Structure 1
Amino acid sequence: MNNFYGAPFNADHDHVFLGAGHEKNERKTWAVIALCTAMMLVEIIGGNLFGSLALVADGLHMSTHAGAMLIAALAYTYARKHANDRRFVFGTGKLGDLAGFTSAIILAMIALLIGYEAVSRFLSPVPIHFSEAIPIAVVGLAVNIASAWLLSGADHGHDHGHSHGHAEGGEHDDHDEEMQRIVTSVGVFQLSIFEDGVPPVFRFVSEGKSSLLSPSDVTVTTVRADGSRQVFDFVQKAGFLESTDEIPEPHGFQVVVSTHSGEQTVEFAEHDHDHGVDSRDHNMRAAYIHVIADAAVSVMAIVGLLLAQAFGWLWMDPLAGIVGALVIANWSYGLIRQTGAILVDASADARIEGKIKAVIDEVGDKLVDLHVWRLGPGHLGAVISVATLEPKRTSQFYHQHLAQFKGLSHLTVEVHSGAEV
């Protein structure tokens, strides 16, 4: 007969799944709004005072720029203020993705409008007031550069996966705890786990002026908590030795290193960080893309206007508009796909799903069902169903084993005890 244990290990945990830089990004977004609003007022008031329709038009354009930023800022503020609101079952972490999706739709509409206007000007060219248009485009570019600077330092969408150990040629990354020093009679060596864009493997690198050992001189044996052992042989690479087999997850085990000097035992612990969990802030990313898109359009507009003025190529202005529209549309499409997938709870991280399965397999149980989804930047939720022949194993047992995955912020475990594995 099956017993079911579905309650989380800690029933009193919070549901705050905001990104690490949430408040900082919020302040930066409001600062950009203040800059755009000030510029908007200067251009509209100045245009009316000096009779410049182009200046007024650019001021109105700046108002749409401020409006797009306002979506991001309000999402940040609302998500922060309601982070502990029980009405949001899984917190407010995905409000940023909703705001990013909305901004991406607006960007797509802007791309269509720019493209429509550019095609219209191809078909029906209009006279260009270069003395007004060029300075306004330069001012717009300056505002966008200032806005990008204000938003700088935030997470604009770099996918921070993790790699253990060493890059090509033996240069180690910031994860020094994933490197173990091996002292032999012929020198000191570094043993590391490397998985930067490749399946995880061991690398054996000489330290300092030590001569590199041959593959036949090194054997590595992993010893896991359940007593299972796996032997790894090595092959020669450019400046280092690399194991011929990949290392199964998880990467927490003792390692027995055998060389001609004897055996040494070192220990590798599973990394204490997000394990590649997507920490991108799509709200900030949308705001940043809006700024960069506007800057790109300004640059192309300036180039087009200067060429049109110098050589009489009036077609350069609408051509620059079409190129700008295509660039914005491409950025918008990518952002819509990514944020849309999050909003409909598409499978968030196949890699961590594999890690969870590896942990369950390692303790000798069977993973019956698994659902992983994104709760917010750097936060994943998971519901797992496990079949075990061990009657004393409750959800607490699996919570403890899966606690190593720091990006797994909300975990619910259903245990079928006494079930056939």
Structure 2
Amino acid sequence: MHTQKLKDLQHHHDFAVISRQGERRTWQVLVLTLIMMVLEIVAGTLYGSMALLADGWHMATHVAAFMITLLAYRYSRLHADDHTFAFSAGKVGVLGGFASSIALGVVALMMLLESGERIFHPRTIHFDEALVVAGVGLLVNVLCAWLLKDHDHHDHHAAHEGHGHEHHHDHNLKAAYAHVLADALTSVLAIVALVAGKFYGWVWLDPVMGIVGVLVIARWSYSLVGETSPVLLDESVGQHYQTEIRQALEQDADNRVADLHIWCVGPGHFAVIVSVVSHQPQAPDYYKALLKPFYRLRGLGKLSHITVEVNQCVGEGCDG
């Protein structure tokens, strides 16, 4: 009989995406955004510009979102070896991304209400002062986006080099990047509206651009919710994957799959529990070998934790 040591049968349970570089750069983005937020709120108050004041408070919501991102990074790192979690603290970063996506949705709603109010009650705007501060805000947003995007590129490059094209989706970092893009978008739209208002008198364009920004930000928020919520809710893989896995096991000998569960335990990592019934049962490793073609799920991640329960069928009635 083939024997194995206990340590060979133990699974790896750390599925958290813990990025020191991502955490450090998020701190840098937080500081830059906080400085710009204070500048816009002060400038909007001094110059009587509601556009700057609104954008300043808009940036304040992103500061809160970045703090959520940093909290998720820190929590994942501190609890990396905490065995009270079934599959590590891998979903904390996903939870942070989900919370940030909800914050994005709140920002979009606030911008929609404000833009609608300005259509019916236009405000006097000090265009020169507002353009200077909005321009500085755009430069800060571009710098922040470069910091986060550059990190994302290096992480994916490292994943390609060291893990055979394995992608670790850092939803936490992606949420922070989405917030920076949202800030950059509102700055661009504000500049376009301010230039049009200053030179052509199109004051109405300011709230219209605000509504355009709302639609784009809402789309980012919805997309991020769609990526993170299935992970948090333990959603299974597509039915076609389950069918293919079931067929791969049942095409061998007289095997029948009595129970099959596949769910996401962390970004890019899936766990599998399968119960097999057979007249001539084999060792669990035998059935794991049959699943090798599915160790990497196309476009999703990989099967990182596989548990096989083997039951012997006695007599008839095991086929259905």
TM value normalised by structure 1: 0.63
Q: Does 1:30 align with 2:27?
A: yes
Indicate if the aligned counterparts of 1:369 and 1:386 stay in contact, CA closer than 8 A: yes
Query: Secondary structure of the equivalent of 1:370?
Result: strand
Indicate if the aligned counterparts of 2:59 and 2:183 stay in contact, CA closer than 8 A: no
Q: CA deviation at 1:287?
A: 1.1
**Which of the two has higher C-alpha Rg?**
1
Task: Kindly provide the amino acid, as one letter, of the partner of residue 417 in structure 1.
Answer: Q
Task: Kindly provide the amino acid, as one letter, of the partner of residue 80 in structure 1.
Answer: R
Give the distance between the partners of 1:24 and 1:328, measured in 2 at CA. Answer: 26
Indicate if the aligned counterparts of 1:130 and 1:305 stay in contact, CA closer than 8 A: yes
Partner of 2:109: 112
- Which 10-residue stretch deviates more, 147-156 or 100-109? 147-156
Task: Kindly provide the amino acid, as one letter, of the partner of residue 104 in structure 1.
Answer: S
Q: Deviations over 1:239-263 (max 9, x none)?
A: xxxxxxxxxxxxxxxxxxxxxxxxx
Give the distance between the partners of 1:63 and 1:354, measured in 2 at CA. Answer: 48
Quick check: which one's strand share is greater?
1
Partner of 1:375: 265
Give the distance between the partners of 2:249 and 2:7, measured in 1 at CA. Answer: 17
Identify if the C-alpha distance between structure 1 residues 337 and 122 changes in structure 2 by more than 3 Å, giving closer, same or farther: same
Q: 1:77 aligns with which of 50, 74, 78?
A: 74
Query: Secondary structure of the equivalent of 2:88?
Result: coil
Give the distance between the partners of 1:351 and 1:132, measured in 2 at CA. Answer: 58
> Where does structure 2 lack aligned partners over 5 or more consecutive residues?
1-5, 297-301
Q: Does 1:363 align with 2:260?
A: no
Q: CA deviation at 1:351?
A: 5.9
Partner of 2:147: 150
Partner of 2:299: none
Identify if the C-alpha distance between structure 1 residues 351 and 22 changes in structure 2 by more than 3 Å, giving closer, same or farther: farther
Identify if the C-alpha distance between structure 1 residues 80 and 350 changes in structure 2 by more than 3 Å, giving closer, same or farther: farther
Indicate if the aligned counterparts of 1:9 and 1:396 stay in contact, CA closer than 8 A: no
Query: Secondary structure of the equivalent of 1:383?
Result: strand
Partner of 1:300: 189
Query: Secondary structure of the equivalent of 1:390?
Result: coil
Task: Kindly provide the amino acid, as one letter, of the partner of residue 140 in structure 1.
Answer: G
Q: 1:128 aligns with which of 112, 117, 125?
A: 125
Give the distance between the partners of 1:109 and 1:362, measured in 2 at CA. Answer: 51
Give the distance between the partners of 1:119 and 1:133, measured in 2 at CA. Answer: 20
Identify if the C-alpha distance between structure 1 residues 326 and 273 changes in structure 2 by more than 3 Å, giving closer, same or farther: closer
RMSD: 3.1
Identify if the C-alpha distance between structure 1 residues 25 and 357 changes in structure 2 by more than 3 Å, giving closer, same or farther: farther
Identity over aligned pairs, percent: 42
Give the distance between the partners of 2:140 and 2:164, measured in 1 at CA. Answer: 41
Aligned residues: 297
Partner of 1:16: 14
Q: Deviations over 1:336-359 (max 9, x none)?
A: 122122211111355653553343
Partner of 1:280: 169
Give the distance between the partners of 1:366 and 1:322, measured in 2 at CA. Answer: 56
Q: CA deviation at 1:281?
A: 2.0
Q: 2:279 aligns with which of 384, 389, 392?
A: 389
Query: Secondary structure of the equivalent of 2:87?
Result: coil
Give the distance between the partners of 2:43 and 2:200, measured in 1 at CA. Answer: 28
Indicate if the aligned counterparts of 2:19 and 2:73 stay in contact, CA closer than 8 A: yes
Q: 2:242 aligns with which of 339, 345, 353?
A: 353
Higher relative contact order (CA 8 A, sep 6+): 1
Indicate if the aligned counterparts of 1:379 and 1:409 stay in contact, CA closer than 8 A: yes
TM value normalised by structure 2: 0.81
Partner of 1:416: 311
Quick check: which one's helix share is greater?
2
Give the distance between the partners of 1:68 and 1:418, measured in 2 at CA. Answer: 55
Query: Secondary structure of the equivalent of 2:129?
Result: helix
Task: Kindly provide the amino acid, as one letter, of the partner of residue 304 in structure 2.
Answer: S
Task: Kindly provide the amino acid, as one letter, of the partner of residue 18 in structure 1.
Answer: A
Identify if the C-alpha distance between structure 1 residues 31 and 9 changes in structure 2 by more than 3 Å, giving closer, same or farther: same
Identify if the C-alpha distance between structure 1 residues 59 and 89 changes in structure 2 by more than 3 Å, giving closer, same or farther: same
Identify if the C-alpha distance between structure 1 residues 339 and 403 changes in structure 2 by more than 3 Å, giving closer, same or farther: same
Indicate if the aligned counterparts of 1:155 and 1:280 stay in contact, CA closer than 8 A: no
